[in-house]
Amino acid sequence: MTPVRTMEHMLRKLLSEMDYVQSQGAGYYTCSPFARRFNKLLDQANGLIGASNPLIGTFDRLEEADPKDPGEKSKRLLQIRIEITQLISFFETIQEEPVA
């Protein structure tokens, strides 16, 4: 398995873990571990892909602070979920591209 495929798998697992934690109810979960893990994976992706594909530069590190308000936590998890799914899509696409 290539490093990109491994990271793709890890991101999918992160999504499923988010689902489980979020199902525990608003206000009882934290966003920080998910943002922190995403940031670590994004750093690795930048190192692996770097300048070979400028679209990796469209991803930014996520805020790791945990909001206190349940509504803000929900918004933050949605933001994290969107970034994770976009990064998964990016990985899927670059694996399909022919090597020049």
Chain centroid to Cα 41, Å, comes to 7
Region for residue 4 given its phi and psi (left: phi exceeds 0; alpha: psi -120 to 50; beta: otherwise): alpha
Q: What mean pLDDT do residues 11-37 have?
A: 85
- For the record, the structure tokens of 43 come out as 């750093």
**Distance of alpha carbon 21 from alpha carbon 65, whole angstroms:** 17
pLDDT in tens, 49-69: 887 888 999 999 999 998 888
Q: Has residue 29 got a pLDDT over 80? A: no
- Scan for tokens 């991803």, then name that residue: 59
Higher pLDDT, 25 or 80: 80
Q: Classify 49 as helix, strand or coil.
A: helix
Task: Tell me what pLDDT residue 95 has.
Answer: 81
Model confidence band, residue 98 (pLDDT cutoffs 50, 70, 90): low
Task: Tell me what pLDDT residue 86 has.
Answer: 97
